[in-house]
Structure formats: C-alpha cells, structure tokens
Structure 1
Amino acid sequence: MASGTNSNEIIHDFPPFFKAFKDGHIERYLTHDHFPAGLDPNTGIQSKDVVISPETGLSARIYIPKINGPDQKLPLLVHYHGGGFCAGSPYETVLHKFIISLISQANVVVITVDYRLAPEHPLPIAYDDSWAALQWIATHSNNKGPEPWLNEYVDLGRVFLAGESAGANITHYVAVRAGATGLAGLKIVGLIIIHPFFGGKERDEMYKFLCPTSSGCDDDPKLNPAVDPDLSSLGCTKVLVCVAEKDWLKDRGVTYCETLGKSGWGGSVELLESKGEDHCFHLFNADGENFRPLMKKIVDFILRD
C-alpha cells in the first residue's frame, strides 16, 4: 500500500472516514461544509457559536426559537453529532436543517457540541469534551453562567441529551456519567439515541486505532453497555432509541434497548424502527416518507416530559 516513499505509506485505511500515513498525517475522504450561524428568516430561530473552553478549543452552537416574552423558559436539548468520532461538526448544513426542523416543532433551545475529533485527538478526548460541555451548561443553573442565552431562556430542570451514530454513543456515555457521579445544576429528563454506534466487528479495528486504550467491542463499556457496572445509574428517566431497518448497526441498537431493560435502571425505554431506511437517513433524506414519523416521535418524546 505504499505510494512511493516510506513517509507516504498508508498504515491504516478506514473508508469512508480517513486513511492514516506512516509519517503521522491523516487524510479524510470527506470534507464537510460550514453553515454560518445567524437568524433563520423562515422560522425566526437564531443561532450563534460559543467557546466553552479556550484552553482546549471546545466550542458549541446554540439555537433559540423565537422567544415570546422575557419570562419564557424552555427545555434544553444537548446534541452530540455523529461521524465515527473522527468526522462531522455542529456546523454542517444537513445538521442545521434537522435542528431547525426540530426546534420549529418542539420549541426547545438546542446546543450542539463541537467536541475534538480523533485520531488527532485520540479517544476518550471526545467523551471528556462532551462531559465538560454538560458541566459547563450546569454552571448556568443560578442564571449567572457565562452564556446569556442559557441564563435567560433555558429551564435546566428539563434537559434532554441527543445524538446520532457516534453521537448517540456519546449521549449514552454522558448520561451514565451524570448518573454515576452526580451532576448538580441540571436534570436530564430523557435521551434520544438515533442509529447508535455501539461497536461491531466491522469497526473494531478503527475504534481501537481512534482509542488506543480500548479493548474492543466486547469488553469496552463504551461499546458494550452490558459490561458497564454503572449502567443502572443512567441519569435520566426515559430513553428513545431509533434504529433503521437497513442500518448494519440496527442489531446493536435493539440489543441496547434490551440491555437497558435488564440492567436494573428504573426508567422506560422506547424503540422506533424506520422501515426501508439506512443509517442517519434523517439527515440526508429529510423529504422521504419516513422522516416525518421519526421527527414526530422525537417531538412527542420531548413534549411528554
């Protein structure tokens, strides 16, 4: 697999994500667009980008719906994007469109976290960034945190965590950590787990490259919740798991539901399967017939809190 010189030799190739070269540099197969923050003229939804930690560069994008009165406090949805822990961002057009649609129907504030990507920042950095973001959000519980939109418009007693693919994996991890260690300042009501990545032999080699300390999909609690001693401490009261019929990750998502049911965790879990669909279709086929049922399920899940 050499391309002429030793320094340009490919030592790992993980399409459709990236290839790694012997000299240490990474070449990604896909590049992603950057949708600017600002006012959405069709909905009145506003967004802006904020820095959570200048030391690490951890940042996020915050969305607020059109506010009706100064005392309106809305639920908060904390979102973690997908991309195999090594791609994606909160700033992509496809994600922006999904978030706008969700806010329009659920009337929530959304913050989507720009955690640092592997392999340049090896796992578990993405997990630690995601946890740090939730801790930062919790500092707004007395309405004196660093971000005015969170102080003014958010009810931290009604927090939801959500993500797709790798972001769904992170969502679960953060919720378990919140429940096991305690996180004063906010209450996580529910998790929205969309097409979750919980390992699988097909991606085991890639995950262990991204996370050199991982033992693989069977023994690593981040990939196999069944072996996590803290699973029953999951820090919420309900979970919605969405899977897609043609997604190779579907079985792991179904198993996740079953594992939660047997764990001793006292909450409720719901499963939605989108027939005829593949992984993360909701981002790439928002005009398809299965998008609306998925969105309705998510919105109803939020509004039932």
Structure 2
Amino acid sequence: MDSTKEKEVVYEIPTFIKIYRDGSIERLRDTPIVPPCPEDPKTGVSSKDVIISVKPSISARIFIPKLKNENQKLPILVYYRGGAYFFESAFSNHHYRYLNHIVSEANIIAVAIEYRNAPEHFLPAGLNDCWVGLQWVALHSMKSPPSIDPWLGRHGNFEKVFIGGDSGGGNVVHNIVMRAGLEGLPGGVRLYGAYMNHPYFWGSKPYGREPVDGFEDAYASVVWNFVYPSSPGGLDNPMLNPMGDGAPSLARLGCVKMLISVAGKDFLYLRDRAVLYYESIKQSGWKGEVELFEEEEEEHCYHMNFPDSDAAHRLINRVIQFLRN
C-alpha cells in the first residue's frame, strides 16, 4: 500500500472528529495534556493524578489549595469536563488552568474525573464512570473506606460536596445529581450543590431558537446519535431531554442548590433548552434553590475559550461565589 496516500475517512463530525477506515481516530478539538504539579507557581495549588478503577479504566486529577493547618477541612468539588462525551480530557491544559484558579479562590478540593469517551466506549459508559468517580469520593467519608486518598480523607468536608461541569459536563451534572437523588451515595453523603455552565440538553423536536430546517443535522442531534447509538428514546432519552415525556421528575434532584449559566449567543443553540430546564426545576416542586446566570452577548463556553475576558471573569467569579456559600 502506498503510504503517501491519504487515509480514508469513514465518519466525521466536521471540525471535531474523524474516524478512519484503519480504525484510527483523530480528535480535532482536543487541547494539550499537561501533567499535575506539586505546586502551581501562580496559585500555589497542588495537584496529582489517581486511579479510581482499573476495570473499567477511570482516573482523576485532584487539586488542593495551600493549607493553613494539618486539620483544615475543605469543601469538595467533583468536576466533570466537557467534550460532548467524545473528546477532551480532564488532564488538558485549559481544565488544569480553570481548576487551579477555582480551587485557589474558592478554597476547595477539586476532583476532575477522567471518564471514557465514545466511540471507543459508547454511552452510558462515560456516565457510569462519572457515577463511580463520585461514589469513590463519597467513600472517603467513611471510617474505613476500601481505598483512601489522604487529601480527601484528611481534609475533605463531606457536608459540603459539590459537583460541576461545562457543556457536555453540564449534562453529566444533571444525570449524576438525579441519580444521587434516586439512589443515594456511600456513607450517607448528600450533594450540597451542583453547577452547570452551558449544559447540553436537546430533544426530538426544535424548541425556542433551535433550527427547524436541518434540525436532525444540528450538532446536538448528530452528537447524541454518535455517542449513544442505542439510546432508548433517541433524542428524547431522559439523559438528554430531562423535560421530555416520561422523564423522572426534577423534584428528585439530589442536592440543596443549583447554578445554571447560559450564553445568549450559544452557537450550538443550547441556551433556550437550558433556560427551559431552569424554569422546569422551579415548577417541579423541588425544595432547593436554583439560580440562572446569563451573558447575553457571549458564545458557547466563552469562559473556557477566552478565560482572560471580562465576561469569563464574571462567570468564573459567580461559580467561585457559589462554591464558597
């Protein structure tokens, strides 16, 4: 075979992923992976990587700020990165920068879960990984957990456990907080708060400003069919459309408070469905507190793509405030 010939693409989501006939996969949006650091020179935050599970392969990066004393207890954030279940990593440079900043300013421990991506592992594999990761964190609240990380075991405040995520990670957050409400967590741990920035929700019929023409070819439609080809209910699966018919009641959300942020010019058309989600929570009978934060003139995940912008600072500071209270 002529090695100079271009490899044949058998499937692609333009600008995001290409799958070649030889089985290789090219993820065009992945950002560079960076190692953990014993002490970040800018924030003083320390980080390390841990293995949660070997089969399946689940790992995490843990971040901890400078401690005032050996007995200090800190709130915990379990973070789920974006990437629509098929690209990106918890170990990427922009997640490293983002979490160093949040951990330093909010004075918390963060655990970024590295879950498996499609198409190597179709959903619900990645979501199950995220649940296992949260369970692993909760186990540290018990006197004799089967495995213990000293940062979590010595310094974690299990009365203040948060989960959070961006874009596809926001979808993870919804599904995990619902599961926590339905099943509970080891050691009786209860989630205190959950935040989601620009969450990925969708459905089988256009809503709000979502495109009518070419709806089935819209990014959100294509991605779901790609990452979960056997999805019961298709685009109306409750994991993707929590406001659809037959979805579990949002009154069962398993946390005390929530923060949902949206971008007014979200180029993936995710804004209106997230606002509907916010309004549906308020009408569900859920007993917690929910807040909506919007930047009307910004695009999807502007705070990750342009972290030094004024708008990014406003959103990230709102997340920090949410984690402090």
> TM-score over 0.5 for the alignment?
yes
**1:17/1:86 contact within 8 Å kept:** no
| Alignment of structure 1 residues 78-117 onto 2, 5 Å | 78-117=78-117
Task: State the 1:23 CA deviation.
Answer: 5.4
Measured in 2, the distance between the counterparts of 1:292 and 1:209 equals 33
**1:157/1:187 contact within 8 Å kept:** yes
**Match for residue 281 of structure 1?**
302
Letter in 2 for 1:130: C
| Alignment of structure 1 residues 1-305 onto 2, 5 Å | 10-22=9-21, 24-38=23-37, 39-145=39-145, 146-185=148-187, 186-199=189-202, 201=215, 202=218, 203-214=220-231, 215-217=233-235, 219-227=236-244, 228-247=247-266, 248-304=269-325
**2:43/2:101 contact within 8 Å kept:** no
Of the structure 1 ranges 34-43 and 20-29, higher mean CA displacement relative to structure 2 is found in: 20-29
**1:143/1:152 contact within 8 Å kept:** no
Letter in 2 for 1:140: H
Q: Secondary structure at the match of 1:290?
A: helix
Of the structure 1 ranges 263-272 and 8-17, higher mean CA displacement relative to structure 2 is found in: 8-17
**Match for residue 207 of structure 2?**
none
Q: Secondary structure at the match of 2:19?
A: strand
Give me the CA root mean square deviation: 2.0
Measured in 2, the distance between the counterparts of 1:208 and 1:120 equals 14
**2:84/2:223 contact within 8 Å kept:** no
Measured in 1, the distance between the counterparts of 2:222 and 2:142 equals 44
Measured in 2, the distance between the counterparts of 1:120 and 1:252 equals 29
Q: Secondary structure at the match of 1:122?
A: coil
Letter in 1 for 2:197: I
**1:144/1:151 contact within 8 Å kept:** no
Measured in 1, the distance between the counterparts of 2:56 and 2:43 equals 33
Of the structure 1 ranges 124-133 and 243-252, higher mean CA displacement relative to structure 2 is found in: 243-252
Q: How many residues align?
A: 299
**2:166/2:197 contact within 8 Å kept:** yes
**1:168/1:197 contact within 8 Å kept:** yes
Percent of paired sites with the same residue: 40
1:268/1:121 Cα in 2 relative to 1: closer, same or farther (>3 Å)? same
Measured in 2, the distance between the counterparts of 1:42 and 1:11 equals 44
Measured in 1, the distance between the counterparts of 2:55 and 2:115 equals 13
1:91-140, CA deviations, whole angstroms, 9 ceiling, x for partnerless residues? Answer: 11111111111112110000000000111111110100000001111111
**1:171/1:191 contact within 8 Å kept:** yes
**2:61/2:111 contact within 8 Å kept:** yes
Query: What TM-score comes out, normalization by structure 1 length?
Result: 0.92
Structure 2 residue ranges without an equivalent (≥5): 204-214
**2:30/2:89 contact within 8 Å kept:** no
Measured in 1, the distance between the counterparts of 2:10 and 2:171 equals 27
1:217-271, CA deviations, whole angstroms, 9 ceiling, x for partnerless residues? Answer: 2x21011111322432110011100111111211111111012112222212100
Task: State the 1:163 CA deviation.
Answer: 0.2
Q: Secondary structure at the match of 1:133?
A: helix
Structure 1 residue ranges without an equivalent (≥5): none
Letter in 1 for 2:304: L
Task: State the 1:182 CA deviation.
Answer: 1.5
1:5-43, CA deviations, whole angstroms, 9 ceiling, x for partnerless residues? Answer: 9xx654432123212345544332234211110111232
Q: Secondary structure at the match of 2:186?
A: coil
1:57-108, CA deviations, whole angstroms, 9 ceiling, x for partnerless residues? Answer: 2000000000111111000000000011111111111111111111121100
Measured in 2, the distance between the counterparts of 1:30 and 1:303 equals 32
Measured in 1, the distance between the counterparts of 2:202 and 2:13 equals 15
Letter in 2 for 1:160: F
Of the structure 1 ranges 198-207 and 93-102, higher mean CA displacement relative to structure 2 is found in: 198-207
